[in-house]
Chain A
Amino acid sequence: MSAGPARHEARELHWHAGRLRVLGGITLALPPGRFTGLVGPNGSGKSTLLRLLAGLRAPSAGHALLDGEDVAATGRRAVARRLAFVAQDVATDVDMTVREVVTLGRAPHRGRTAAPAPRDREAVELAMARTGVSWLADRSWPTLSGGERQRVNVARALAQEPAGLLLDEPTNHLDVRHRLDLLGMLSASGVTVVAALHELELAARYCDHLVLLDGGRVVASGSPAQVLTSRTLREVYQVRATVREGPDGRPDLRLDPLDPPGGGAAREGGQTSASETT
């Protein structure tokens, strides 16, 4: 496969779970080497789209392309050398150390029974350092907290040395500092990053490109300022969004319920509506 950041494309992607339509015809091309955020309400199809892009599920119709090739038809090992995937929750009590778990990420690069080479060990140590879990290296997986497990999983993905990194709600379970650290690291990574995110404020600050999904379709895509407008957010999330331009030129969000219990917030929303970006 080609070098450079991973190129993801979707062509008329459909995915059904039984009779339920989860994705209904998604066509997009994600900017290579940039950080794309997939946003949208619960059940809008973010996780499914990620899995189709990663080739972990076969589409009901349409194609997910990685570097121009159908990812579902490509061997897993070849895909894993280009692409790493971090699931939302990994529930297991397997008795392995953090270093052993991160070493799983070297699997696509080594022989089936070969011991890890110095090259593999380097990649593992570097990946642990980048996610701040080096000090946990010898700890056993079942003793980790939810947030620590999440960071170890990201380290495992980085140890794959991927050209593309797909993450399903990577900030879930993380405290504020680690959230910012992780998103900062992802946006500076230089590889293609696609992450499903719930916090719109963080998506606005860290992502280069956003795809807003609703009901299995793309509602808007483009720069955070293009996607996160108060009109779209009211339509998709049923919230009152106040959007200002932040000091870094990115949108700064304030979100309130559409029908607040008191009148105060509504008045405040009314006052600032003049500064809404559309």
Chain B
Amino acid sequence: MTRPVLAARAPLVLTAGGAALTLSLLVAAGTGSADIPPLGVARTVGAHLGGPWETLPPLRDSIVWDLRLPRVLLAALTGAGLAVCGAVLQATTRNPLADPYLLGVSSGASTGAVCVLVLGIGSGVGSLALPVGAFAGALTAFACVLLLLGRTLGSATRVVLAGVMVSQLFGALTSLVVVLAGDADRTRAVTFWLLGSLASADWTLVGVCAVGTAAGLALLQLHAGQLDALAFGRETAAAVGFEVRRSEPVLYVVTAVVTGCLVAAGGAIGFVGLLVPHAARALVGGRHTVLLPAAALLGATFLVWADTAARTVLAPQEMPVGVLTALIGVPAFAVLLRRRTGAP
């Protein structure tokens, strides 16, 4: 496959990706113990949005609208957000192994989550205590990274090292809390949360995550040209006219807030933010104007299906979706990698 072909087919890939995601949302929201055809799901959604359609019977309507749709949408938002944040951090650090958790956000979120789950901090607030605690933990960890880096950020290597250090610190704090205060039940709940689960999705969480993710991704998309240049180093980016010193911290803050928001809602779901950007690059090439939306669509579709599998394969038991993202994703990525190295 020659590269101009990749560039030429980018609009096609994006259109197809958008269609696939829409279809996936409808099918996934209908999948489960009570199967509802995609058209039924579409009708219910239409009716709830004020359209002239007839809703499903109350029980089925409630299953779709109150239970499944928030979860499916949260999966899509999480997949899109993590994939784009991963792609951005891979460009700013020029490190193909960078992922959204690079800046200590997930470790911080975990510490925040165990403080709520094990120590019971903020349990008076109700169901929102966990995501709020996790988000606070994520921002605290990211603030530590920024403090370590100082005003100038320094080299990409320094950014990665600071992230790793803070991740280690908060990982240790998480373990400490679990070991000192956790009983068997709570430890199990913590383990489940750490592996990532979208089971707690409701419309409030979806709403908050939708606003945060949409705003974040729009901001990152505005920096697409600069990310192309940054992949060639800060110096080159500055030499072609980008105010790197000003905008690089913005990029880090935006990815950290989006990631923190999503991790707070669904736990530290792995794999998506690391490998989906690479898969998207194989499909549309490395230009971020196209790469970022492609990664968003691919990550969203992928996580919608991974989460659907997580709640149906062993039903009525749930699998942590973080386990499934790797179980499904690794073979899929291996195929992609093989095909790519096979073609010149």
B3: contacting residue among A92, A105, A138, CB under 8 A = A138
Contact partners of B2 in chain A: CB under 8 A: 138
Known: A92-B231, A140-B3. A75 touches B225 (CB 8 A): no
CA distance A97 to B6 in the complex (A): 10
A147 within 8 A of B: no
Q: What is the 8 Å Cβ interface bit string for chain A, positions 78-89, against chain B (1 contact, 0 not)?
A: 111101110100
CA distance A80 to B286 in the complex (A): 23
**Chain B interface size, under 10 / 10 to 19 / 20 to 34 / 35 or more:** 20 to 34
A96: contacting residue among B239, B241, B243, B285, CB under 8 A = B285
A104 within 8 A of B: yes
CA distance A188 to B235 in the complex (A): 26
Known: A97-B4, A139-B3. A84 touches B286 (CB 8 A): no
Q: Are A113 and B235 in contact (CB under 8 A)?
A: no
CA distance A156 to B285 in the complex (A): 19
**Chain A interface size, under 10 / 10 to 19 / 20 to 34 / 35 or more:** 35 or more
CA distance A176 to B81 in the complex (A): 49
B238: contacting residue among A76, A96, A97, A156, CB under 8 A = A76
Q: Are A92 and B232 in contact (CB under 8 A)?
A: yes
Q: Are A76 and B285 in contact (CB under 8 A)?
A: no
Q: Are A100 and B225 in contact (CB under 8 A)?
A: no
B222: contacting residue among A80, A97, A112, CB under 8 A = A112
Known: A100-B287, A113-B222, A138-B2. A85 touches B235 (CB 8 A): yes
Contact partners of A84 in chain B: CB under 8 A: 239-240
Q: Are A104 and B3 in contact (CB under 8 A)?
A: no
Within 8 A of B (CB), among A95-141: 95-97, 100-101, 104-105, 107-108, 112-113, 138-140
Within 8 A of A (CB), among B287-302: 287, 289
A64 smallest CB distance to B (angstroms): 14
Contact partners of B232 in chain A: CB under 8 A: 90, 92, 94, 101, 104
Contact partners of B323 in chain A: CB under 8 A: none
Known: A90-B232, A139-B3. A108 touches B238 (CB 8 A): no
Within 8 A of A (CB), among B211-269: 222, 224-225, 228-229, 231-233, 235-236, 238-244
Q: Are A80 and B239 in contact (CB under 8 A)?
A: yes
CA distance A78 to B287 in the complex (A): 24
Contact partners of A100 in chain B: CB under 8 A: 7, 228, 285-287
Q: Are A97 and B239 in contact (CB under 8 A)?
A: no
Q: Are B243 and A75 in contact (CB under 8 A)?
A: yes
Q: What is the 8 Å Cβ interface bit string for chain A, positions 206-233, against chain B (1 contact, 0 not)?
A: 0000000000000000000000000000
Q: Are B286 and A104 in contact (CB under 8 A)?
A: no
Q: Are A56 and B231 in contact (CB under 8 A)?
A: no
B96 within 8 A of A: yes
A188 smallest CB distance to B (angstroms): 23
Q: Are A108 and B241 in contact (CB under 8 A)?
A: yes
CA distance A54 to B94 in the complex (A): 23
Q: Are A56 and B228 in contact (CB under 8 A)?
A: no
Within 8 A of B (CB), among A51-90: 51, 54, 56, 75-81, 83-85, 87, 90
Interface-central residue, B232, B281, B287, by most chain A CB under 10 Å: B232
Contact partners of B243 in chain A: CB under 8 A: 75-77
B235 smallest CB distance to A (angstroms): 5
A160 within 8 A of B: yes
Known: A54-B239, A93-B96. A104 touches B233 (CB 8 A): no
Closest to A98 in B: B3
Contact partners of B233 in chain A: CB under 8 A: 87, 90-92
CA distance A105 to B228 in the complex (A): 11
B236 smallest CB distance to A (angstroms): 6
A85: contacting residue among B7, B228, B239, CB under 8 A = B239
Within 8 A of B (CB), among A222-255: none
B80 smallest CB distance to A (angstroms): 20
Q: Are A95 and B281 in contact (CB under 8 A)?
A: yes
Q: Are B3 and A76 in contact (CB under 8 A)?
A: no
CA distance A160 to B91 in the complex (A): 22
CA distance A116 to B4 in the complex (A): 16
Q: Are A104 and B240 in contact (CB under 8 A)?
A: yes
Known: A87-B233, A94-B232, A138-B4. A80 touches B225 (CB 8 A): no
Contact partners of B236 in chain A: CB under 8 A: 85, 87, 90, 104
Q: Are B287 and A92 in contact (CB under 8 A)?
A: no
CA distance A76 to B229 in the complex (A): 14
Known: A76-B243, A104-B240, A108-B241. A113 touches B225 (CB 8 A): yes
Contact partners of B96 in chain A: CB under 8 A: 93
Contact partners of B286 in chain A: CB under 8 A: 94-96, 100
Q: Are A80 and B3 in contact (CB under 8 A)?
A: no
B257 smallest CB distance to A (angstroms): 21
CA distance A93 to B286 in the complex (A): 10
Q: Are A81 and B241 in contact (CB under 8 A)?
A: yes
Q: Interface on A for B, CB 8 Å cutoff?
A: 51, 54, 56, 75-81, 83-85, 87, 90-97, 100-101, 104-105, 107-108, 112-113, 138-140, 156-157, 160
Q: Interface on B for A, CB 8 Å cutoff?
A: 2-4, 7, 91, 94, 96, 222, 224-225, 228-229, 231-233, 235-236, 238-244, 281, 285-287, 289
29 A-B residue pairs with Cβ-Cβ distance under 8 Å, sorted by A, are A76-B243, A79-B241, A80-B239, A84-B240, A85-B235, A85-B236, A87-B233, A87-B235, A90-B236, A91-B94, A92-B94, A94-B286, A95-B285, A96-B285, A96-B286, A96-B287, A97-B4, A97-B285, A100-B7, A100-B287, A104-B228, A104-B229, A105-B240, A107-B225, A107-B242, A113-B289, A138-B2, A138-B4, A139-B3
